[in-house]
Amino acid sequence: MQDVLRHWTPELAERLGEVYRDLHRHPELSLREHRTADRVAAALGPLGCEVATGIGGTGVVAVLRNGDGPVVMLRADMDALPVAEETGLPYASTARGVDESGAEVPVMHACGHDMHVACLLGALETLARGRAAWSGTVLAVFQPAEELVRGAQDMIDDGLFERFPRPEVVLGQHVAPLPAGTVGYGEGPVMAAGDSVQVTLFGRGGHGARPEDTVDPVVMAAAVVMRLQGIVAREVPHHEKVVLTVGRLHAGHKDNVIPDTAELGIGVRSFDPAVRDRVRAAVERVVRAEAAASGADREPAFAWKTGAPVLVSDPRATAVTAEAFRGRFGADRVVRLPSLAASEDVGRYGEALGVPTVFWFWGGAGPGAFAEAAAEGRLPPFNHSPRFAPVLEPTLTTGVQALTVAALTWLAAP
C-alpha cells in the first residue's frame, strides 16, 4: 500500500488543488454538468484509462485495467446546488444557472461534490502511477444529478454495468463537517431513505379586503405546516428515526389578493420501510383533513417522488475497509458515526448488482473552526449551507488517500 501512496506527491496535490478550485469556481446544476464532465475527461486522458462520456446524461466513466483481479468501483458525484455562496473565498462561485422549473438561480458547490471529483481524480492518478503494486480493474464513475437523487439510476439505465466491467464492490465517500484529516464510518444503514411530495392546495381566491368571500389557501397552508409537525412527534415511535421538513411554501403574487392555490414541498427521511409508508399516509391524511376543515371545494393534489433508498454500508465489507483506514491513518483519526437522516443514491449501484457498498465520510473542517463550533455546542457550517467550504488541506490529501486505500483493500496483489 505504501508503494502506491508514495505516488501522491506535493506536485500532484498542488495540481489537483487547482482542479478543485476551478470546479468550485464553476459549479453546475444537476443534469447540466457539461463543463465539469469535460474537465474530468481531460484530466483522465493522460492516465491510460478507457474514458467514456455522456453516460446517464453527463456522467463520465473511466476504466483503469491492470491485469487479472477483482473489479472495484469508485464513485464521485459532480453536481452543485441552487445556493448563493457566502464563503468569501477567493475562488468563490458567482455562477448563475437555470433550475428545473426554468428559474434563474445562484449556483454553488455547497455539498462538496467538487472535492469528491478532485479526490477521485487524484486516487485514479495515484493508482495509475503505482500499477506495479496491485492487480485488477478500477471502474471510476463520475456521476451527475445526485442532488436530484436520480443520477445513479440514470447511469444504470444507460447500461453502466452492461457497457463496462461489473464491480464486485462499490466504494464511495462524502466530505462532511468533521475535523479535517479524520475519517468516519458506519455499518449497516448509514443514510436515510428520502421521499418528497409536492402538494397543491386549492382554495378560492378574491380580494384581500373580503376574505369572507374566499377560501384562503394561505391560511390552509399555514395550518398544514403546523399540523404536519405532529406526525413525527406523536405518531412515530421514539426509537425510530424520521425527519419531516416543509422546505417550500408558495402562494400568491400580491399582498391584497388572496390566491386560488398554495404549493408546498415536503421531504420525508426514514430508515424503516413500514414507518416510511405510515408517514407518507399520515402526510396525505393531514393535508386532506386541513383542506376539508378550511372548506376547500376541491381535494388537494399530491405528486410523490420516491428518492433514494436507505443507504446500507455492508457491515462485513465496511469492517474490512475501516481496518485498512486505521492501518493508514491511525485509530485516533478513524471514528464510528451514527446514521444520518440525509439521503444518497450511491446505494443503487450495489443494490442493482447485489454486491456490497461501502460508504464513509471524511472531514473538511479546519481544526480552529471545528473547535470554536464545538465549544458553542454546534457544528461548523454543514453541507448545503452557503458558508460550507472544506479547507483544501488536509481534506484533499485525506480524501485521495482514503479512496486509494479502500481500492487497494479490494484489489489483488500483483
Dist CA 259 CA 254 (whole Å): 9
B/e letters for 311-323, b = 16+ CB within 10 Å, e = fewer, are bbbbeebbebbbe
Query: Across residues 182-194, what is the average pLDDT?
Result: 96
The strand pairing partners of 361, in sequence order, are 174, 184
Asked whether the predicted pLDDT for residue 322 surpasses 90, the reply is: yes
Q: Are strands 136-143 and 59-66 parallel, antiparallel or unpaired?
A: antiparallel
376 burial type by CB count under 10 A (0-12 exposed, 13-18 middle, 19+ buried):
exposed
pLDDT at 409: 97
Q: What is the pLDDT of residues 11-23, one digit of tens each?
A: 999 999 999 999 9
Query: Across residues 127-152, what is the average pLDDT?
Result: 96
Backbone angles phi, psi at 241, to 5 degrees: -100, 115
Asked whether the predicted pLDDT for residue 369 surpasses 80, the reply is: no
Round to the nearest angstrom and report the end-to-end CA distance of the chain. Answer: 12
Cβ partners under 8 Å of residue 66, min gap 6: 131, 134, 135, 136, 137, 138
Active-site annotation, residues: 79, 146
Q: Are 141 and 73 in contact (CB under 8 A)?
A: yes
Under the banding of pLDDT at 50, 70 and 90, the label for residue 371 is: confident
Q: Are 12 and 63 in contact (CB under 8 A)?
A: no
Average pLDDT, the chain: 96
Alpha helices in 84-150 (DSSP H): 113-129
pLDDT at 190: 96
pLDDT at 138: 98
Cβ partners under 8 Å of residue 236, min gap 6: 242, 275, 278, 279
- Which helix (H) or strand (E) segment holds residue 258: the answer is strand 257-258
For 56, the grid coordinates are 446517464
pLDDT at 370: 73
pLDDT at 368: 78
Dist CA 285 CA 283 (whole Å): 5
Cβ partners under 8 Å of residue 360, min gap 6: 173, 174, 183, 184, 185, 313, 318, 321, 322, 325, 402, 406
Under the banding of pLDDT at 50, 70 and 90, the label for residue 385 is: very high
- Which range is least confidently modeled, 236-245, 315-324, 363-372? 363-372
Sign of CA dihedral 389, 395, 400, 402: negative
Q: What is the pLDDT of residues 238-269, one digit of tens each?
A: 999 999 999 999 999 999 999 999 999 999 99
- Which helix (H) or strand (E) segment holds residue 60: the answer is strand 59-66
Dist CA 63 CA 78 (whole Å): 18
Dist CA 55 CA 143 (whole Å): 9
Query: Across residues 190-217, what is the average pLDDT?
Result: 96
For 254, the grid coordinates are 400580491
Q: Report the 10 Å Cβ neighbour count for 28.
A: 22
Closest C-alpha to 121, from 46, 69, 29, 28? 46
Enter the pTM of the model: 0.91
Query: Across residues 192-197, what is the average pLDDT?
Result: 94
Dist CA 127 CA 261 (whole Å): 56
Under the banding of pLDDT at 50, 70 and 90, the label for residue 350 is: very high
The domains located in the chain, with CATH, are 2-191+310-410 (3.40.630.10), 193-306 (3.30.70.360)
For 62, the grid coordinates are 473511466
Under the banding of pLDDT at 50, 70 and 90, the label for residue 100 is: confident
Q: Which residues are known binding-site members?
A: 111, 113, 147, 174, 384
Q: Which residues are known binding-site members for Mn(2+)?
A: 111, 113, 147, 174, 384
Backbone angles phi, psi at 100, to 5 degrees: -60, -30
The gap from C-alpha 314 to its chain's centroid, in whole angstroms, comes to 19
